Amino acid sequence: MKFGNFIPLIIGLTLGMALGYQGWWGFFIIFPWIGGGITVGAIVAEGKRGRKAEIGRRLSLLLVAPVFIIFLGIMQRENLQIEETVFYTLLLLHTGILTRVLIHYAIAKIIGPLIWGRGYCGWACWTAALMEWLPIRENRPIPKRYTWIRFPVFIFSILLPLVFVWMGYDWVSNHVKEEGAIILRGKPGALIWFLAGNAVYYIAAIWLAFKFRKRRAFCKIACPVSIVMKAQTRIALLQPKPSGNNCSGCGACNKHCPMDVDVMSYIGQGRRVSSSECILCGNCSAICSQKAIR
Ligand code: SF4
Ligand code: SF4
Ligand code: SF4
């Protein structure tokens, strides 16, 4: 068993300890749970070749999703979507209070991607936890003319809460339960935004997946979260790279990439796969008969 499989668990335990002692017991659970789920997935995937390797990552997504949906979303009324992040950024600017929502964003989507790129998308996203289990075998490329839609969706996601605030929506009274604490617990208002936002995401994700015959169609076309991680992913520490073995030019890696990355071109030129679309899923490496990608 590779030591590398245990790195997510070690990171999870370290973050859980470091943040748990800062004032909220939940961090002791959340981070080791997420790291542990990814480690279990990596262990299951180890040694598997071809499409069989996907089962590890799909399992990881399934294990991690309850943290975000049940524990944080429903039990803690914590909405980790972009809209709530905008609300809490306003709070940070006004009061200096750093909340759990912003801690999640900082670790999973701003700073973390400098190390693991869009590994969050590949192994821990709760929307992907559903998409990856949809009964769709095909992986058709998404026409480029649709992939720009994410950008206006991103702008809309930022503007929506600002418009609500401008119209007088008292989000602090409706969303924040423990004002003044370092870590704030949500109120029913936050739960309503969480349920509504996720319902929209899941409905769109299912519809797009079946329409385009690709499980990750939502990621390619509509998800605004991907925009936040793109720049860091280009320079991330972890990226698929050439192993030194010769590429035969078979094209299997491109065909099985869920994010339509031109992997063959990167590997053929002896370059790391620095595409901002890579979600570090490992499909390309698992499918390559020449073992040209590691
Ligand atoms: S692109 Fe969006 S929906 Fe897709 S995995 Fe990443 S965060 Fe999740
Ligand atoms: S990297 Fe591997 S899967 Fe991709 S084209 Fe080359 S030999 Fe085929
Ligand atoms: S380039 Fe490889 S690791 Fe990245 S998304 Fe495509 S198949 Fe997955």
292 lines ligand 2 (CB under 6 A): yes
Distance between Cα 216 and ligand 1 center (Å)? 8
Band of residue 108 on the pLDDT scale cut at 50, 70, 90: confident
- Residue 64 in contact with residue 12, Cβ under 8 Å? no
257 lines ligand 2 (CB under 6 A): no
Average pLDDT over residues 211-225: 97
Choose one of 85, 118, 127 to mutate for the ligand 1 pocket test, by most ligand atoms within 8 angstroms of C-beta.
127
Domain positions in the chain are 1-76, 80-238, 240-294
- The structural architecture, per CATH, of the domain 240-294 is 2-Layer Sandwich (3.30)
End-to-end CA separation in angstroms for the chain: 17
Euclidean distance between CA atoms 153 and 79, whole angstroms = 18
The alpha carbon torsion through 49, 52, 58, 59 (nearest 10 deg) reads -100
Residue nearest to atom 1 of ligand 1 (CA): 219
| Angstrom distances, CA of residue 146 to CA of 150, 208, 217, 218 | 9, 11, 10, 11
292 lines ligand 3 (CB under 6 A): no
Residue of higher predicted confidence among 91 and 243:
243
φ/ψ (deg, to 5) at 222: -120, -20
What percent of the chain has pLDDT above 90?
A: 70
Query: What contacts 244, CB < 8 A, 6 or more positions away?
Result: none
Residue nearest to atom 7 of ligand 3 (CA): 257
151-171 pLDDT, tens digit per residue, is 999 999 999 999 999 998 888
Burial 240-271 (b: 16+ CB within 10 A, else e): bbbeeeebeeeebbbebbbbbbebbebbeeee
Helix axes 26-45, 7-20, angle to 10 degrees: 180
pLDDT at 19: 84
- Residue 104 in contact with residue 80, Cβ under 8 Å? yes
Band of residue 49 on the pLDDT scale cut at 50, 70, 90: confident
Residue of higher predicted confidence among 51 and 275:
275
Question: Is the dihedral angle over the CA atoms 112, 115, 117, 123 positive or is it negative?
Answer: negative
The CA-based diameter of the chain, rounded to the nearest angstrom, is 62
1-37 pLDDT, tens digit per residue, is 788 899 999 999 999 998 888 777 888 999 999 999 9
Euclidean distance between CA atoms 226 and 154, whole angstroms = 9
Choose one of 49, 139, 243, 250 to mutate for the ligand 2 pocket test, by most ligand atoms within 8 angstroms of C-beta.
250
**176 strand-pairing partners:** 186
Structure tokens at 129: 């936890």
Report which DSSP code applies to 33. H
Listed ranges 50-54, 94-98, 176-180; the one with the highest mean pLDDT: 50-54
Closest ligand (CA of 154):
1
Euclidean distance between CA atoms 158 and 169, whole angstroms = 15
pLDDT at 292: 95
Average pLDDT over residues 265-291: 95
Kindly tell me if the per-residue pLDDT of 93 is higher than 60.
yes
Choose one of 121, 260, 280, 291 to mutate for the ligand 3 pocket test, by most ligand atoms within 8 angstroms of C-beta.
280
